Structure 1
Amino acid sequence: MLKEERHKIILREINLHNKVLTTDLSEHLIVSEDTIRRDLNELADLDLILKVHGGAMSKTFHYPFDGQHPVYAHQAKQVIAHKAIGLFKKDMLILMEGGTTIMEIAKQIPGDLQATFFTVCPQVALKLAEHENIDVITIGGRLAKNANIHTGAGVINELSNIKFDLCIIGTNGISVQNGLTDSDWEVVHVIKAMIDAAKKVAVVCIAEKFNTVQKIKISDISDVDYIITELSPDSPVLSAYTGKAKPVLI
């Protein structure tokens, strides 16, 4: 495979999953980790990605406010955000994770909504705080720089003491067989705690992530109540996820 082809695939994987590991790219592209590290260095030198320990991440994901780096699949994420907001009701306690799709939700919240939002993501908290009629509470802990959310036992303990009406999470992998998956051990534990703390759980996910699998399982599909994507619920892409009591496709 030519270097230019590898670079295209690497950029797609980073844009799609926000962050990638050198080891995973090496396996996926069937090249050495040294080759991947050289590729990542070149892409970083071109200001296309951000190198982090063990891999790389999207510059948009790391710097969601600067406006200098276009959001991947931005139009699709705007559609998802519009759909997700349809679940919000007055006086709800709503828990939100982080990521570029959830940032879109935070941007689109109607100005007249009165609700209380909790989040484990500092960037999402700042965006939520721009809305005058909602209360914003952050759940703090050690900041996982590769994921931009707070992690650790303190976060999990705080989550266990609250029962939220609705939880909004993203996912880096989703399939019928493997459920929701991610590549970050600490992030997985926080998302598990978020799911356990909520009466209803919605997963927001662009269609490109369907039928992709990361190394660590978060939950079964049946553990969530809604899957929200930019596609119509009757799209053939979603056919494997229909016909079940849970989740509802939106």
Structure 2
Amino acid sequence: MKMFVMERRNEIMKLLHDKYRLTVRELSEQVGVSEATLRADLNKMEREGLLTRTHGGAMLNQQSDDDYDTSFYVRERQNREEKSLIAKEAFQLIEEKQCILLDASSTALELARYLNEKMIRLTVVTSGIQTAIELKDNPNVTVILIGGVVTKGSTTMEGTLSVEILDKLNIDILFTSANGFSVENGLTDFNLYEVELKKHMVHKARKIVAVIDHSKIGATSSAPFAYTDQIDVLITNNFIGSDTEQKLVDHNIQVISAL
């Protein structure tokens, strides 16, 4: 079956994660495209910082390897207390009867858990399977799980069906996290499917709220999905430094410290 470009590139990244270094011939055989097509993919992916070309093949960047190796279940347990504080601050931005959008991040899941404790009527749209499960029995919350493909080891929906559903909705606020945030690069993530979906989420929402624990500040992952100028509010659990905060203020971003 013929793969779309994004599917092919994601498959390349998965194969490199498993083997770290592969030849063009090995990748061509496993992905099912010609070596010429594969070389063009690899060259473009190297320019975008996703991998490093080697003589006759490619290898995974160390940063990308670190990003990929951290599964959702590991991330969910990291900085749990800090994420809980961020969720409480995020809740203050939500009003009755709004339609909010939560990505599939572990921080957004913490916000869903906090919402479950409150008496507030909302429509919650999410790409996160765990987030939808968390809220499904709450009588005050209408949950819309945007569709797509569930891949092995994933807790998020992938594919173009999600975009079709988003186009039919009016979103008041998007709460989104990322593998990294910097003033220069904005919000960045590893999974290329999630990056494309998050770009559409950013486009659809009236307000963009970045919920970022301190470990992500100053880090940069593979690809951006929201530039700094697109963010309205940034909630973090640590002082980010006066210089960085001033740069964010210069970009008209409200900075909230969940301490």
The alignment's TM-score, normalised by the length of structure 1, stands at 0.71
Q: Which residue of 2 aligns with 1:249?
A: 255
Q: Which residue of 1 aligns with 2:106?
A: 100
Do structure 1's residue 91 and structure 2's residue 104 form an aligned pair?
Answer: no
Shift of 1:126: 0.6
Q: Distance in 1 between matches of 2:181 and 2:140?
A: 34
SS of residue in 2 equivalent to 1:162: coil
Q: Distance in 2 between matches of 1:243 and 1:118?
A: 29
Instruction: Point out where structure 2 has 5 or more consecutive residues left out of the alignment.
Output: 1-15, 21-48, 53-58
Alpha-carbon deviations, 1:144-196, whole Å to 9, x = none? 44552111111112112212011111111111111111121111000001011
Q: Which residue of 2 aligns with 1:160?
A: 167
Q: Which residue of 1 aligns with 2:73?
A: 60
| Equivalences for residues 1-250 of structure 1 within 5 A | 21=17, 55-58=68-71, 60-61=73-74, 71-109=77-115, 110-145=117-152, 147-231=154-238, 235-236=241-242, 238-250=244-256
Q: Distance in 2 between matches of 1:150 and 1:249?
A: 30
Shift of 1:238: 4.2
Letter in 1 for 2:73: T
SS of residue in 1 equivalent to 2:210: strand
Structure 1 residues 21 and 226: CA distance shift in structure 2, 3 A: farther
Q: Distance in 1 between matches of 2:227 and 2:152?
A: 26
Q: Are 2:249 and 2:255, in contact at CA under 8 Å, matched by a contact in 1?
A: no
SS of residue in 1 equivalent to 2:140: coil
Q: Are 1:61 and 1:100, in contact at CA under 8 Å, matched by a contact in 2?
A: no
Q: Distance in 1 between matches of 2:159 and 2:72?
A: 24
Structure 1 residues 237 and 86: CA distance shift in structure 2, 3 A: farther
Shift of 1:55: 5.0
Letter in 2 for 1:127: E
Q: Distance in 2 between matches of 1:59 and 1:138?
A: 18
Letter in 1 for 2:69: A
Q: Distance in 2 between matches of 1:137 and 1:231?
A: 32
Q: Are 1:111 and 1:132, in contact at CA under 8 Å, matched by a contact in 2?
A: no
Instruction: Point out where structure 1 has 5 or more consecutive residues left out of the alignment.
Output: 1-19, 28-32, 41-53, 65-70
147-156 or 83-92, which moves further after superposition?
Answer: 147-156
SS of residue in 2 equivalent to 1:118: strand
Q: Distance in 1 between matches of 2:86 and 2:207?
A: 17
* Count of residue pairs brought into register by the alignment: 203
Structure 1 residues 139 and 59: CA distance shift in structure 2, 3 A: closer
